[in-house]
Amino acid sequence: MTDDAKAEGAPLIRLPEPSRTGAVSLEETLARRRSLRAFAPDPISLQSIGQLAWSAQGVTDAATGYRTAPSAGGTLPIEVDLLLHGVPELEDGVYRYHPVEHALRLRLPGDLREAVTASTMNQGFVGDAPVVLALSAVAARTEPRFGALTARLIDMEVGHVAQNVSLQAVALGLGTVVVAAFREAELAAALELAEGERPIYLMPVGRAA
């Protein structure tokens, strides 16, 4: 079965409306952001999961489809998957974020934490987090416009996305760390990414243990 066929089989799960205001200032999130690698196992609420996904790639201009993070030429190469475990409303598995609908779609049911952690040369804390974001890129969306610059632009773009998520996590009373040390092919296989989708960052998110 192709990835698309699988995706079509699962329904879209609408996420709660994201908050556009918050009690924690931007300056406070900057001052408090620190890489977190010891996670409490408590599950994260669906509201917070939606907020994290929105901070990564939420649509903030319906007319253009532009997002919370900037995108080279508006080519939007980034895809966000979320490994979710213990969320009361959702079965465990890997979900793809659909920005236009602000919704999730289950791609892979089950517990993939062990396989994903193994791909990071066993950085064990990755599997301890109740939520792991996987940021991947589809270079074919950006290449027609930017050619040889594409890889560089995509890496920059993922950096913007990851910083949004890092600061949003702090504002939600959570923490995260960006993880780039992984075997790319092994991680892509574990996440069953489509041909042409390249994983760039993992971001385990949770409350500090």
Ligand X SMILES: Cc1cc2nc3c(=O)[nH]c(=O)nc-3n(C[C@H](O)[C@H](O)[C@H](O)COP(=O)(O)O)c2cc1C
What is the token pair recorded at 159? 């950096």
The residue range among 10-18, 107-115, 175-183, 191-199 that interacts with ligand X, by the rule CB under 6 A, is 175-183
14-73 residues near ligand X, rule: CB under 6 A: 34-35, 37
d(CA 146, CA 200): 19
Is 135 a binding residue for ligand X by CB under 6 A? The answer is no
Cβ closest to ligand X, residue 46 vs residue 171: 171
At which residue do the structure tokens 């913007």 appear? 160
Helices 150-171 and 46-57, interaxial angle, to 10°? 150
The residue range among 44-52, 82-90, 111-119, 177-185 that interacts with ligand X, by the rule CB under 6 A, is 177-185
Is 123 a binding residue for ligand X by CB under 6 A? The answer is yes
Cβ atoms of residues 178 and 167 within 8 Å: no
d(CA 93, CA 194): 17
- In sequence order, what are the beta bridge partners of 201? 135
Give least dist CB 121 to ligand X, A.
9
Give least dist CB 173 to ligand X, A.
17
- In sequence order, what are the beta bridge partners of 14? 103
Is 116 a binding residue for ligand X by CB under 6 A? The answer is no
Binding residues vs ligand X (CB under 6 A):
34-35, 37, 123, 177-181
